[in-house]
Chain A
Amino acid sequence: MSKLAALGRFLYDFVVGDDWRVAVGVAVTLAVTALLAHSGVSAWWLPPAAIAAVLGMSVARFRHRI
């Protein structure tokens, strides 16, 4: 079990990294983008704008934490 937990921890650190909110932000952005795109809305502008905001919030949170 401890080896399984260690593997899970490794995979989490490998993919998600230091800030899980970034991964959640990416998932939410893509879900909203898919909803808009499949509703016929031109949504190409949303991913870069939202990703920039997610990145900005992540580094700002780091700055406030230290």
Chain B
Amino acid sequence: MRARVIAGGVVSSIAVLVVGWQLGGQPAVTAPAQQSTTSGSGTTGTSTGTSGSTGTGTGTTGGTTGSTGTGTTGGSSATGTFTGDTTQTRYGPVQVQITVAKGTITDVTALQLTNSDGRSVQISQQAAPILRQEALQAQSAQIQSVSGATFTSEGYTTSLQSAIDKAGL
């Protein structure tokens, strides 16, 4: 190849790359996307720490908990929302966000950064582990039925469903 082409090519390519570098460098989107999943990785505390070892293959990874985000830090009194580093998965970049209250992780969310194409539907449709604390007392005024493992006729009489049916809700 001729010297002129090589020289000109190298020079203009470098120019293009520099422009690209300047235009890029944005961090991954920090606002949670519409659909979010939670990731078991990095959770401590109350979760029973399955951390994706059941092989769901969602591809959200151990993004190390970085220190970006709002909230006070400092050992066991940390409170707030923290965002970790971005990891590349086949669905696009994923960032892990954790919510900490008084040193205990209360929520782990995987932020979907590419949420407008079919890929994010796939990953966000995956069932992911959630923390078990949310248990509502039966607000019977609000439900008309319960769904659980099929009860026998005998079992019915002592079940919630029976109570609801009797109340005529």
Q: Do A and B interact? A: no
